[in-house]
């Protein structure tokens, strides 16, 4: 167990698309729900729509925190992950605003 656990990600590297697909679905589902409500002409409901936006922000914050903790090798968290989270948050802000 101690010999195989550190190298298990190398053996399963060909499945990289599955966690990426899951993360993509989790991050974009609130935006999809928001756009469906707007396209159907449903009026702004403070409870539902604010819940959608808060869900998006909490999901992004949790995902960013977990990734930041896991990406500590060679300071990649500060160099690459934090700016990419800021860019993603800015894009989400633009989508929800406009």
For 26-83, the pLDDT digits (tens) are 878 888 888 888 889 888 888 888 888 888 888 888 877 877 777 666 666 667 777 8
CA distance 4 to 78: 30
Per-residue pLDDT band at 6 (split at 50, 70, 90): low
Helices (H), the chain: 8-11, 17-39, 46-70, 76, 82-97
CA distance 97 to 88: 14
With H, G, I as helix, E, B as strand and everything else as coil, classify residue 16.
coil
What does the pLDDT average to over 4-29? Answer: 73
Residue 29: which residues within 8 A CB-CB, separation 6 or more? none
For residue 16, what are its two tokens? 């990289």
What does the pLDDT average to over 11-27? Answer: 76
Higher pLDDT among residues 96 and 13, named by residue = 96
Q: What is the pLDDT of residue 5?
A: 58
């Amino acid at each position: 167990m101690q010999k195989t656990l550190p190298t298990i990600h190398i053996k399963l590297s060909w499945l990289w698309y599955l966690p990426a697909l899951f993360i993509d679905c989790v991050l974009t589902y609130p935006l999809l729900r928001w756009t469906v409500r707007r396209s159907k002409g449903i009026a702004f409901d403070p409870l539902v729509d604010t819940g959608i936006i808060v869900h998006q922000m909490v999901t992004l914050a949790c995902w960013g925190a977990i990734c930041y903790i896991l990406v500590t090798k060679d300071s990649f968290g500060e160099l690459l992950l934090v700016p990419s989270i800021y860019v993603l948050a800015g894009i989400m802000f633009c989508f929800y605003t406009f």
